Amino acid sequence: MTYWLGVLVQTCIYMIAIIGVSILSGFCGLFTLGHAGFMAIGAYTSAIVVNTFDVPIFVGLLAGMLLSTLLGLLIGAPTLRINGDYFIIATMGIGEAIYLLSQYLIPVTGGPYGYMDFHSFRGMEALFYVVPILIVVIVVTYFFIKSKHGRNIVALRENEMAALTVGINVYRYKMISMGYSCALCGLAGGLLAHYMTNVNPAMFTSTKSNDLVIAVVLGGRGSLTGAIIAAMILTPLPELLRFSSAQEWRLIMYGLTIVLVILFRPTGLYGDREFSISGLAKWIKRHSQRLMKRGEN
């Protein structure tokens, strides 16, 4: 039972990170291959701050969020000014750099063995942190993307030139998306640290960075609902496949699932729409009508 609760906690944590990357890659259209690095910043910062200054966990989480955001903006400041693929290369570089630093900066990070013995969640405590934070993140992000600022971010994904001519400061909104995504990844990293009770470099490899973007693409670029569903499927998937005879095949099944979705739902599971009660009602009505017609024939 505790094992499945653990899977639940991890799903919630990764959902926060995926929602962050969704703002940057899904809504703003800027792909990133290094956001696990920002999770690492959040994780190490939170663990170190809590351990060194003996402050409550949420102070550590805030510190992790802040540092991760600042670093993200620092990387974004020069690379988001120029068009092209420079930004994606920069994110890749920073992800890799953070990974290597965490491995070799042994006095600070503890090296490959990881940073441990800091104040962490005890048992169920993790759920009481993670679930409320996740709910706040979802609600705030939903409000954000449905506001003027969210619309501007989508506008520059859709057509940068047109966005400029309606007076949108493209650079500023790219920086806002970058800051937002780094803040959420930092937060997720911090939560992960206090849940795992140990932070080590292997938790934040480039594979993890890729997983985040894959989740966004699978969910549907520009859909918060899609990001949430993708997180619910992809995070527990490797765990579900851990059991039965699927054991050795689990990574292959994981890859296969992704290929199938890309083949049959190229716009992602949820496209760029959002879940709504009225939308669900319409969907049910349409499909029930279709079923009735089939019945008549």
Partner 1 sequence: MSTVALGLYNVCKSFGGLKASNNINIEVLEHEIYGIIGPNGAGKTTLFNLITGVIAPTSGTIRIYDKDITNLAPDKICGVGIARTFQNIRLFNAVSVLENLMIACQQTIHYSALDGCLRTPRFRREEKAAQEKCMAILEKFNLLQYKDVAAGKLPYGSQRRVEIMRAIMTNPRVVLLDEPAAGMNEEETATLAEMIRMLQKEYNLTIVVIDHHMDLIMEICDRLTVINFGEQLMTGTPEQAQSDQKVIDAYLGVDDE
Q: Is 176 in the site for partner 1 (CB under 8 A)?
A: yes
CB of 163 to partner 1, least distance (A): 8
- Chain positions 116 to 145 lying near partner 1, rule: CB under 8 A, are 140, 143-144
Residue from 22, 152, 200, 209 touching partner 1 (CB under 8 A): that is 152
Residue from 151, 242, 265, 285 touching partner 1 (CB under 8 A): that is 151
Cα-Cα-Cα-Cα dihedral of 165, 166, 169, 175, to 10°? Answer: -110
Nearest to 213 by CA among 88, 121, 49, 74: 88
Q: Show the binding pattern over residues 41-80: x = contacts partner 1 (CB under 8 A), - = does not.
A: ----------------------------------------
Q: Is 147 in the site for partner 1 (CB under 8 A)?
A: yes
CB neighbour list of residue 72: distance below 8 Å, 6 or more residues apart? 38, 178, 179, 181, 182, 183
* 25 token code pair: 């890659």
Residue 139 burial (C-beta neighbours within 10 Å; 0-12, 13-18, 19+) = exposed
Q: Crossing angle, helix 2-21 and helix 206-219, to 10 degrees?
A: 80
Q: Is 85 in the site for partner 1 (CB under 8 A)?
A: no
> Number of residues in contact with partner 1, rule: CB under 8 A?
27
E-assigned strands of the chain?
115-116, 198-199
Part in contact with partner 1 (CB under 8 A); list of ranges 69-77, 79-87, 149-157, 202-210: 149-157
Q: How far apart are CA 81 and CA 7, in angstroms?
A: 40
- Chain positions 86 to 115 lying near partner 1, rule: CB under 8 A, are none
Residue from 167, 248, 293, 297 touching partner 1 (CB under 8 A): that is 167
Q: How far apart are CA 56 and CA 124, in angstroms?
A: 17
CB of 93 to partner 1, least distance (A): 28
Binding site for partner 1 (CB under 8 A): 140, 143-144, 146-152, 154-155, 158-159, 161-170, 176, 222, 272
